[in-house]
């Protein structure tokens, strides 16, 4: 037994006035209690208890020792309780990835709330439109559209479905071949997004006459940045498929116009996702708590379609 174990054993016997009751309190055998008391007395060469067949009483030395040790052990217990609370208090470094188009939502809502509620958590926000592998890239969590999240991840809904649009400059839309249905896009200049981690360009998800339609159109220009695609569309270089959040100001100002609006479905909305094995970490519990609160308040809901 350690010195602290022997002290706790001594105090248990002193308070219970019984080796048997002390053993029950400490969940050990009476023999172990008796042996521990003998070790303590031998180490300090003093009798701590007067034992009879019917009772156990403290000696004068034992009474003095009990009076000194009881508050000291109380302080030790308080210190370990505080240490336990510190270990369970959310702290550490959170690394989160989010698309550039929606990163401001994280910066505006999530980061301030998390820092206010849990100041021991530091935050690293990586803005990347590509599909991030959380494990290999050392990330704790990500925010992406629901359809882009791997099935082995835990996903928490952040927003309602988000509106997207096919857009082009007024000059391009006005001078191009007539657009009446999705397959007409095959005759047009298109600007497509390219994921760094994918070998193929993602198909455009549209609504055909018979339901959902995936169009894999030859791209004339590609980029891994939605803002670059919006800029090319403004310059009249073709048609881009972008979130309304990205192009709302351009549409309102007349720099871009929507085409084939009735054939563009909403997306599944934004989700927070992370590996299942990490969800019980205090910092992850804090993150989940805050995103659930914000989602309930509608902080991530954006509807820009006119």
Q: Give the strand pairing for 211-215 and 204-208.
A: antiparallel
pLDDT digits 0-9 by tens, 163-201: 899 999 999 987 766 788 898 898 899 999 887 766 678
Which residue segments constitute the domains of the chain, with CATH numbers given?
Answer: 3-87 (1.10.10.10), 92-161+268-296 (3.40.190.10), 164-263 (3.40.190.290)
Question: Environment class of residue 259 by beta-carbon count within 10 Å: exposed (0-12), middle (13-18) or buried (19+)?
Answer: buried
**How far lies 130's CA from each of 223, 283, 302, in Å?**
11, 25, 21
Task: Give the Cα separation of 101 and 245 in Å (integer).
Answer: 7
Q: What is the per-residue pLDDT for 85?
A: 59
Closest CA to 275 of 141, 147, 164, 90: 141
**For residue 38, pLDDT beyond 80:** yes
**Between 305 and 104, residue with greater pLDDT:** 104
**Between 143 and 145, residue with greater pLDDT:** 143
Does the predicted model carry a pTM greater than 0.85?
no
Question: Environment class of residue 280 by beta-carbon count within 10 Å: exposed (0-12), middle (13-18) or buried (19+)?
Answer: exposed
Please, which pLDDT band fits residue 35 given cuts at 50, 70 and 90? very high
Q: What is the per-residue pLDDT for 77?
A: 78
Residues 6+ apart with CB under 8 A from 68: none
């Amino acid at each position: 037994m350690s010195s602290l174990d022997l002290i706790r054993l001594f105090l248990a016997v002193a308070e219970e006035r019984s080796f048997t009751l002390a053993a029950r309190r400490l969940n050990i055998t009476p023999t172990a209690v008796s042996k521990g008391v003998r070790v303590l007395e031998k180490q300090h060469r003093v009798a701590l208890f007067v034992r009879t067949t019917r009772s156990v009483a403290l000696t004068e030395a034992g009474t003095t020792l009990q009076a000194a040790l009881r508050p000291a052990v109380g302080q030790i217990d308080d210190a370990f309780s505080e240490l336990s609370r510190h270990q369970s208090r959310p702290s550490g470094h959170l690394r989160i990835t989010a698309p550039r188009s929606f990163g401001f939502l994280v910066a505006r809502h999530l980061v301030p709330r998390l820092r206010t509620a849990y100041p021991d958590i530091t935050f690293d926000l990586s803005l990347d439109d590509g599909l991030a592998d959380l494990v290999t890239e050392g990330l704790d969590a990500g925010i992406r559209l629901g359809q882009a999240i791997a099935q082995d991840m835990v996903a928490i809904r952040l927003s309602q479905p988000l509106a997207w649009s096919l857009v082009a400059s007024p000059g391009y839309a006005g001078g191009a071949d007539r657009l009446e249905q999705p397959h007409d896009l095959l005759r047009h200049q298109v600007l497509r997004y390219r994921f760094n981690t994918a070998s193929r360009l993602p198909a455009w998800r549209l609504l055909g006459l018979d339901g959902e339609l995936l169009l894999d159109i030859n791209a004339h220009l590609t980029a891994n940045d939605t803002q670059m695609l919006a800029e090319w569309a403004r310059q009249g270089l073709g048609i881009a498929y972008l979130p309304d959040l990205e192009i709302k100001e351009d549409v309102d100002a007349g720099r871009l116009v929507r085409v084939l609006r009735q054939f563009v479905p909403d997306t599944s909305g934004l989700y927070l996702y992370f590996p299942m094995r990490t969800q019980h970490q205090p910092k992850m519990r804090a993150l989940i708590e805050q995103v659930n609160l914000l989602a309930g308040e509608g902080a991530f809901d954006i509807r820009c379609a006119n």
